[in-house]
Amino acid sequence: MSLIIEDAVISELLNRREEISKDKKWGFDLPEKEFIKGMICLNPQSYGARIEKYIKNILGFDKVAAKENKGDLVDPIRDEYYEVKISLLTQNNPALNLVQIRLWQNNDFYLCVAYDLRDISNYKKYIFLLTHDEMEEECKRASAAHGTSASNNNNENVELRLSIVCDENDDTFNTWKEQYLVEDFKEIV
């Protein structure tokens, strides 16, 4: 039998979602886990932009204008450019989904972060840092993020999609942990 969700529970969730959605700086003053718990109320496009800004603040980086084609963030001290990819891992989504990978962009690194909410009492995150060349190598098994193979044949710049299932029994995930995992954002700066 399906579980009935009480009206008061739905009302509370919708109210929190509205509050978080309207306040673009919601949670920036909270510990990371509490901030990320709030982001689950938003859709991936919205939470991706918010978490990117949160990470930008932690690292002390600057935002890159999209027209520069150099990724999302820049380290103003070292003049290094980062493309940021974020996923929230849940019971329904066990993968770090890297969508719209633009290998033609002139960025130095890919910062890929999976926040694991599958067991919130054991909250953790996986921070993967890849060079541009390493991401190019990983993308040999990627697929087009949009369109069909036929429609992309003549396209010079095709955005790619790559998913890493974050499971201890997954060989690709274990390889990524061995090769690209950093324990903390402080290791990046």
What pLDDT is recorded for position 134? 97
Q: Is 94 left (phi over 0), alpha (psi -120 to 50) or beta?
A: alpha
70 domain residue, yes or no = yes
What is the tens place of the pLDDT at every residue in 18-30? 999 999 999 999 9
Domain for residue 1, yes or no?
no
pLDDT score for 156: 67
Q: Residue 110 and residue 30: Cα distance in Å, rounded?
A: 26
Residue 162's domain spans which residues? 7-187
**Averaged pLDDT of the chain:** 92
Res. 143 pLDDT band, cuts 50 70 90: confident
The predicted structure's pLDDT at residue 1: 86
Is 156 within the bounds of a domain?
A: yes
Whole-number percent of the chain with pLDDT over 90: 81
Q: Which residues contact 75 (CB under 8 A, 6 or more apart)?
A: 59, 61, 81, 82, 189
Choose the weakest-confidence range: 73-77, 78-82, 145-149, 156-160.
Answer: 145-149
24 lies in some domain: yes
CATH classification of the domain holding 170:
3.40.210
In a domain, 106, yes or no: yes
Residue 2 lies in a domain: no
Count of structural domains, the chain: 1
Q: What is the pLDDT of residues 28-54, one digit of tens each?
A: 999 999 999 999 999 988 999 999 999
* Residue 151 pLDDT > 60: no
Q: Does any domain span residue 149?
A: yes
CB 84 within 8 A of CB 119: no
What does DSSP say about strands 73-75 and 160-165: parallel, antiparallel, or unpaired?
A: unpaired
Q: Residue 189: which pLDDT band, with cuts at 50, 70 and 90?
A: confident
Write down the pTM of the prediction: 0.91
Q: What value does the mean pLDDT take over residues 92-114?
A: 94
Q: What is the pLDDT of residue 150?
A: 53
pLDDT of amino acid 153: 58
Averaged pLDDT, 7-28:
95
Strand arrangement, sheet containing 143-144: 95-101, 160-165, 143-144
Of the chain, the end-to-end C-alpha distance in Å amounts to 51
